[in-house]
């Protein structure tokens, strides 16, 4: 098994950091969770999101991502399952009852927050498409063990993602302390974000 060259790893890390700094659906999900539920739930959601990322990395390494992209049926199943789950979370958030007092948030169990993060990312077909398109750009078939190079690059991406997304979670969780007194604003805002993410996932194309 041959690792990517040091130069390749440096270029890949720079490209990955540039991409991770641009907020995407996963970051919006993490920010919504952290602002409403606090930093602990936000950080646990980050862990769940990136366990889901590891699933896609493994899938890319063994060729499952290629199968999903090639098969309209498989892609559609993953896409609409993910979209439906995000919309479900958003509707539940919008319909949640507003408590009169005190202005403390009823925290969801950390295990549930972790599993939700996993499900949200595993059922996001754009993550599969991203790795299928991005990782091969840094793979050298001449070095052999293409699957191992993809796996190494994916793990590097996950490690960098854990750091950047944790910073988003900490920042949103800290700011959330100041906005939680406006419970309806946070609830409607996070619910709308989830539904919007579901719509984005549903409109993902195979091109």
User: How confident is the model over 167-178, as pLDDT tens digits?
Assistant: 999 998 888 766
Which range of 97-101, 115-119, 201-205 scores highest in mean pLDDT? It is 115-119
- What average pLDDT score do residues 18-36 get? 81
Domain ranges of the chain: 25-202
Name residue, tokens 């991502």. Answer: 65
By the 10 Å C-beta count (0-12 exposed, 13-18 middle, 19+ buried), 109 is classed as exposed
3-state secondary structure of 169: helix
Residue from 142, 143, 147, 158 nearest 60 by CA: 147
Question: Confidence band (pLDDT; 50, 70, 90) for 99?
Answer: very low
The answer to whether residues 32 and 169 touch, using CB atoms and an 8 Å cutoff, is no
What are the start-end ranges of the H helices in 63-182?
Answer: 64-70, 72-95, 110-122, 125-134, 146-179
pTM over 0.85: no
Nearest CA among 79, 103, 60, 100 for reference residue 205: 79
pLDDT at residue 34 is higher than 80: yes
Whether the predicted pLDDT of 54 surpasses 90: yes
Of residues 201 and 130, the one with the higher pLDDT is: 130
Q: Is 144 left (phi over 0), alpha (psi -120 to 50) or beta?
A: left
- What is the predicted pLDDT for the residue at 103? 43
Question: pLDDT tens for residues 154-164?
Answer: 999 999 999 99
The confidence score (pLDDT) of residue 2 equals: 76
Average pLDDT over residues 169-188: 70
Tell me: pLDDT of 106 over 80. Answer: no
**Using 50, 70 and 90 to split pLDDT, how confident is the model at 102?**
very low
> What torsion do the CA atoms of 12, 206, 30, 16 make, to the nearest 10 degrees?
10
Looking at residue 101, its pLDDT comes to 40
Percent of the chain with pLDDT over 70: 78
Q: Percent of the chain having pLDDT more than 90?
A: 20
Give per-residue pLDDT as tens, 60-73.
Answer: 888 756 666 677 77
Confidence of residue 80 (pLDDT cuts 50, 70, 90): confident
116 pLDDT higher than 70 = yes
Task: Give the whole-angstrom CA distance, residue 90 versus residue 194.
Answer: 5
């Amino acid at each position: 098994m041959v690792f990517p060259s040091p130069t390749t790893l440096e270029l890949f890390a720079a490209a990955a950091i540039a991409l991770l700094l641009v907020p995407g659906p996963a970051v919006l999900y993490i920010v919504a969770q952290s602002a409403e539920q606090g930093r602990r739930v936000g950080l646990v959601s980050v862990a769940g999101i990136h366990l889901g990322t590891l699933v896609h990395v493994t899938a890319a390494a063994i060729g499952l991502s290629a199968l999903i992209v090639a098969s309209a049926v498989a892609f559609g199943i993953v896409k609409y399952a993910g979209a439906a789950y995000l919309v479900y979370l958003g509707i539940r958030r919008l319909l949640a009852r507003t408590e009169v007092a005190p202005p403390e948030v009823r925290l969801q169990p950390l295990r549930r927050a972790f599993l939700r993060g996993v499900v949200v990312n595993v059922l996001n077909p754009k993550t599969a498409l991203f790795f299928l398109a991005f990782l091969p750009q840094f793979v050298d078939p001449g070095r052999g063990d293409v699957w191992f190079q993809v796996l190494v690059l994916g793990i590097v991406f996950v490690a960098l993602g854990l750091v950047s997304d944790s910073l988003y979670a900490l920042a949103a969780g800290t700011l959330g302390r100041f906005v939680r007194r406006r419970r309806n604003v946070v609830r409607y805002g996070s619910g709308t974000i989830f539904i919007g993410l579901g719509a984005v996932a549903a409109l993902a194309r195979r091109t």
